Structure 1
Amino acid sequence: MNTLIKNAIVADRHIFKGDILIQDGRITALGEHLAAPADARVIDAAGATVMPGLVDVHVHFREPGFTDKETIATGAAAAAHGGFTTVCAMPNLNPVPDNVADLTKLIAKNRTDAKIHVAQFAAITEGLHSTTLTDYAAMKQAGALGFSNDGVGVQDAATMYNAMKGAAAVDAPIVAHIEDIGLVNHGVINQGQKAKALGLPGINHVSESAQLARDLTLAEATGVHYHACHISTKQSIELIRDAKARGVHVTAEATPHHLLLDDGHIPGDDGMFKMNPPLRAEADRLALMDGLRDGTIDMIATDHAPHTAEEKSGGFAHAAFGIVGSETAFALLYTSFVRSGWCTLKDLIGWMSTKPADAFGLSAGRISIGAPADLTIVDLDTPYQIDANDFLSKGHNSPFLGRQVYGRVLWTLVDGSVAYAKEDQQ
């Protein structure tokens, strides 16, 4: 179906008021007072803002194996609700996509069950916990975007070194969950005053930065594209900044929750604030913001991690690590960063769309003639409250429930087709 979006504020590299014509899934015209073809659907944006579809390089859709938490269909619906047109799904599933047969099935299901683009990471090692590498050449040929052991990380240096050599040989990224398990030492919260006040075992910040230092050294030696997931500490920012200055091919992401919250915001023994890595100190959060601004952090990714209500109950000691983020990320960041004047809308679009697309070679992130019609239409002016009853994800585990925000998604279009429409949810 052909579509004409009229009366929009189009925000990309430049901002203008006008129309967007979509034909056969691609943008064919940009301008004012465009005429609609006879068979075109017309969407009157009525002054709402059209952005390039958002890109999230770190989500957990839980299928196969954990469909009580999320499915591909519900995870993709949640992503579309949040304005995301492309996401990259992690492989900590059951079965783990560590072989061509299981990966092929998963990629096929991503295509049939999701109304958005779902790129799939395969496992670095068999079963995630082993030291046996998967077949990178075969897995990439089968459609793997890159390789990750997200959720557990690679504990053995020799395994990571060989993984990086293997990934570099097939021009694929290593996407690293950075966590030295020995240094975590069964902690459940950041090591600091809040942990002491609550009487909880803390996670030392060096559990991240020590392994990151190892990995950056190995990445420099192998030439691999090394992507650092959910960076959370000041020391990690410094390590990445130095590595980039040396020419190491490293990209890094930060999550909305690590940018907006620190352990001083934790109200008490509330499992909704338990995540991995944990919320760090205020100095770490401010360092992340500085790193985002100066390019040390390349992009924002949600680490969308749905859990059942039972799994998030019981406080820090027993709750599962992780929160949902697909449906709240843009509004939270637009409200806190853009409306406050800390950054521009163009900056936020870069971190949430253009830069992640460019880093992973994805056909997304721009509004231009000939580009795929992956678009997000948002109301930037009307406030609303984050309400779990509005979520399309199975997971309601968020510390941001009840917060007033701006930036409600009205439509999400993928290849010109409607993946989400607010009017359909009313």
Structure 2
Amino acid sequence: MITELKNVRRMGENTTGSLFFENGTIRGWNLDLEAQQVLDGRGGTVLPAFLELHAHLREPGQEQKEDLESGLAAAAAGGYGTVVSMPNTAPVVDDPGIVRALIEKSERLGFARLRPSAALSRGQQGEALADLRALRDAGAVMFTDDGRTNEDAHLLRRGLEYAHSLGVLVSVHAEDATLRKDGVMNEGTVSEELGLPGNPWAAEAARVARDVEIALLTGARLHIQHLSTARALEVVRDAKRRGAPVTCEVCPHHLTLTDEALRSFDAIYKVAPPLRTQADADALLRGLLDGTVDCLATDHAPHTQAEKERDLLEAPFGIPNIEVAFALLYTRLVASGRMSLEALVDLFTAGPARVMGWAAPQLEAGAVADVVVVDLEGELEVRPESFKSKARFSPWAGERLRGWPLLTVVNGRVAFQR
């Protein structure tokens, strides 16, 4: 079937035209073709659909928080065409059968495309490697014990070596658990004034330093998740200068929120790693601009409302943000003049593709028809009650943002339409 996506603009252009695709493949722009399906882009800007390397979709076993249907629908609503899910579910994704079941179910849903990660260690216990080859063969695209820190350096070394031989990336939650201890927020002036246990910047920086040395030792690719501190960013910058095969990601909440938000004692702001200082957020932005940070990822972490209404000591860590990530960062960074649209789009598309070793998504003939149309002019309010995600709460509730997705197409099929 030939589909015409009409009334859309290319990035940086003022005139509108039509993009044609057929059977999941882009045919080209402004062609003389008779379309069996016509989609109206409403004058929006068409971009490659975004890639998400770090989302918690909670299935199997935690479907009260999120499941594949709600999570992948939320991803499509946020403009994402492909999502890498995290394995810290119940049971843990450390069995090839679970990987296959997740992929098969996601393909029936018709929302964003799922590419599961699998646990690096059995049960994410950090004691023995999972069957990495079998997990790779079942469809796992990344190995990670995210949700837990890799305390055993020898196991991480062996995991990196084995994964490297299989051509699969390892990603890490880089925090020293013994230094982090029971911290619920950033250790600093605010935590001291509030009398809350703090998580120091050194917990992240020390573990990043250890892990990049292991990457240098093994020559294996290592991806550092949700970098949050200026010092850890400097460690990564230095490691890259030394030729370490290391990449890193930054999340929207660490760019747009700080530990000052915890003065409300609202657990909606409780995340791991924690919200840091404004100086850290500013350093992360500089890392985006100078290329030290390779991509943006959401760390979409849905929980039930009841869980997040507990006090700060008891509530779980995590923010649901996959539906607002692009609009939030377009408004805060591009519309404010701090970053170009082209640079932001790269961090949502080609950047994560480079991390994974995938072909960069594009809008030219022959490319997969994964596209998102965004409205860069109109403003909409963040309304959590209308989220596709089961986690209908947001730190940005009520904020008016620009850059919302109007339409998301995955493999030539409409996955979301506002």
Give the TM bin, normalised by the shorter chain. over 0.9
Aligned ranges for residues 278-357 of structure 1 at < 5 Å?
Answer: 278-357=274-353
Counterpart CA distance in 1 for 2:139 and 2:215 is 23
What is aligned with 2:123?
127
SS at match of 1:367: coil
What is aligned with 1:30?
29
Counterpart CA distance in 2 for 1:361 and 1:112 is 26
Counterpart CA distance in 2 for 1:127 and 1:326 is 26
Would you say 1:361 and 2:357 are equivalent positions? yes
Residue type matched to 2:382 in 1? I
- Per-residue CA deviations over 1:278-318 (Å, capped at 9, x if unaligned) read 00111111110111111110100000000000110123112
What is aligned with 1:3?
3
Would you say 1:115 and 2:111 are equivalent positions? yes
Counterpart CA distance in 1 for 2:129 and 2:193 is 43
The answer as to whether partners of 1:91 and 1:121 remain within 8 angstroms in 2 is yes
* Amino-acid identity (%): 39
Counterpart CA distance in 1 for 2:143 and 2:165 is 13
Would you say 1:372 and 2:368 are equivalent positions? yes
Structure 2, unmatched stretches of 5+, are none
What is aligned with 2:385?
389
SS at match of 1:253: strand
Structure 1, unmatched stretches of 5+, are none
The answer as to whether partners of 2:55 and 2:86 remain within 8 angstroms in 1 is yes
Cα distance 1:103–1:46, how it changes in 2: closer, same or farther (>3 A)?
closer
Counterpart CA distance in 2 for 1:397 and 1:228 is 27
Would you say 1:224 and 2:247 are equivalent positions? no
The answer as to whether partners of 2:10 and 2:45 remain within 8 angstroms in 1 is yes
The answer as to whether partners of 2:262 and 2:269 remain within 8 angstroms in 1 is yes
Would you say 1:215 and 2:214 are equivalent positions? no
The answer as to whether partners of 1:29 and 1:369 remain within 8 angstroms in 2 is yes
Deviates most, 56-65 or 160-169: 160-169
Give the CA deviation at 1:194: 1.3
Counterpart CA distance in 1 for 2:356 and 2:14 is 25
Counterpart CA distance in 2 for 1:315 and 1:301 is 27
Residue type matched to 1:7 in 2? N
Counterpart CA distance in 1 for 2:142 and 2:290 is 26
- Per-residue CA deviations over 1:183-214 (Å, capped at 9, x if unaligned) read 11111010011112221111111111111111
Residue type matched to 2:120 in 1? I
Residue type matched to 1:258 in 2? H
Aligned ranges for residues 121-270 of structure 1 at < 5 Å?
Answer: 121-270=117-266
Deviates most, 355-364 or 328-337: 355-364
SS at match of 2:4: strand
Give the CA deviation at 1:232: 0.3
Residue type matched to 2:265 in 1? D
The answer as to whether partners of 2:361 and 2:367 remain within 8 angstroms in 1 is no
- Per-residue CA deviations over 1:248-272 (Å, capped at 9, x if unaligned) read 1111100000011111243410111
Residue type matched to 2:334 in 1? V
- Per-residue CA deviations over 1:29-87 (Å, capped at 9, x if unaligned) read 114xx3341x4211222321111101111001000010000000000000001111111
Deviates most, 89-98 or 101-110: 101-110
Deviates most, 153-162 or 41-50: 41-50
Taking structure 2 as the reference length, the TM-score comes to 0.97
Residue type matched to 2:342 in 1? K
Taking structure 1 as the reference length, the TM-score comes to 0.95
What is aligned with 1:21?
20
Counterpart CA distance in 2 for 1:199 and 1:382 is 42
- Per-residue CA deviations over 1:157-176 (Å, capped at 9, x if unaligned) read 11111111111111111111
Aligned ranges for residues 36-55 of structure 1 at < 5 Å?
Answer: 36-37=33-34, 39-55=35-51
Counterpart CA distance in 2 for 1:179 and 1:15 is 46
Residue type matched to 2:11 in 1? A
Counterpart CA distance in 2 for 1:412 and 1:248 is 36
- Per-residue CA deviations over 1:97-134 (Å, capped at 9, x if unaligned) read 21222222222223223522111111000000131001
The answer as to whether partners of 2:4 and 2:39 remain within 8 angstroms in 1 is yes
Counterpart CA distance in 2 for 1:306 and 1:176 is 20
Counterpart CA distance in 1 for 2:141 and 2:338 is 33
Counterpart CA distance in 2 for 1:111 and 1:96 is 21
Counterpart CA distance in 2 for 1:189 and 1:29 is 49
Cα distance 1:165–1:186, how it changes in 2: closer, same or farther (>3 A)?
same
Deviates most, 17-26 or 275-284: 17-26
Counterpart CA distance in 1 for 2:301 and 2:110 is 17
Counterpart CA distance in 2 for 1:296 and 1:201 is 31
Counterpart CA distance in 1 for 2:174 and 2:113 is 26
SS at match of 2:83: strand
Deviates most, 307-316 or 62-71: 307-316
Counterpart CA distance in 1 for 2:219 and 2:38 is 48
The answer as to whether partners of 2:126 and 2:151 remain within 8 angstroms in 1 is no
Cα distance 1:169–1:275, how it changes in 2: closer, same or farther (>3 A)?
same
The answer as to whether partners of 2:385 and 2:393 remain within 8 angstroms in 1 is no
Aligned ranges for residues 404-419 of structure 1 at < 5 Å?
Answer: 404-419=400-415
Residue type matched to 2:312 in 1? F
